[in-house]
Amino acid sequence: AQKVTQAQTEISVVEKEDVTLDCVYETRDTTYYLFWYKQPPSGELVFLIRRNSFDEQNEISGRYSWNFQKSTSSFNFTITASQVVDSAVYFCALSEVTGGGNKLTFGTGTQLKVEL
Amino acid sequence: AAGVIQSPRHLIKEKRETATLKCYPIPRHDTVYWYQQGPGQDPQFLISFYEKMQSDKGSIPDRFSAQQFSDYHSELNMSSLELGDSALYFCASSLVLRGRGTEAFFGQGTRLTVV
């Protein structure tokens, strides 16, 4: 069975600090996808990034960066110079590849609070 | 760009009533997913459809049913509502190519409150 663990329930930082959200996953599949979604207080789920299991290259997008390490089954997310607008719940998710689609298994989420 | 459209955005029902949630996927997306997110919880997969056929089933109660229509929109029907069904219900859509899916884009959700 697939499992995603986000051990940090809540993180509070001061604006402009860097923050890393941890994600550890378990799967028996050799092919899988990893995702990060952001859920602001308004409730919608915003897609941030998708990685496949064969691509361990780190990725940077503006203030966001992701570190995928297959050896430790981790897919961590770093926000550089955090801003108040980054305050949200962040979910890491894993999808198995089925014949007709890719359902997501979510972690329990990390509530990020960025204060002035 | 067009996004996933869900309606209604908010719904209040009484116990034992029936509710129908609608989802209009992104044009040309062939797969629709339904998720349920209880208060303070992560989204839980309910059911998915690929090319109008049910493709996978998660922890969906027997009181719930869903289908995908010829125009690819999907409906989640919930009967005999219970207080515990109060949640945010998300629909997502994706494009599956040769068995490998792209990222799922989520609608804004329907917040169902059962009183």
What count of Cα atoms within 13 Å lies in the side-chain half-sphere of residue B16?
0
Mean of pLDDT values over A8-30: 96
* CA of B56 vs chain A CAs: smallest distance (Å): 8
Instruction: Write the residue in B31, B51, B100 that is nearest to A97 by C-beta.
Output: B100
More confident residue, B95 or A71: A71
pLDDT exceeds cutoff 80 at A24: yes
Q: Average per-residue pLDDT in chain B?
A: 93
Mutation site for A-interface testing, chosen from B68, B103, B113 by largest number of A Cβ within 10 Å: B103
Digit-coded pLDDT (tens) for A87-112: 999 999 998 776 556 789 999 999 99
pLDDT score of B109: 96
pLDDT in tens, A26-68: 998 888 889 999 999 999 999 999 888 888 888 888 999 999 9
Q: Which residue has the tokens 């998300």?
A: B90
pLDDT given at position A6: 98
- Residue A98 is predicted with a pLDDT of 61
**Residue of B77, B104, B82, B100 lying closest to B91 (CA atoms):** B104
- Least CA distance to A43: which residue of chain B? B108
CA closest to A92 among chain B residues: B42
Instruction: Tell me if B106 and A33 make a contact (CB, 8 A cut-off).
Output: no
Q: In this predicted structure, what is the pLDDT of residue A5?
A: 97
Chain A residue with minimum CA distance to B46: A103
Residue B2 predicted with pLDDT over 90? no
Residue A54: its pLDDT value, please?
Answer: 86
pLDDT in tens, B4-22: 999 999 999 999 999 999 9
Residues of A in contact with B44 (CB under 8 A): 106
Q: Which residues have CB under 8 Å from A52's CB, separation 6+?
A: A31, A32, A33, A34
Residue B1 has a pLDDT of 67
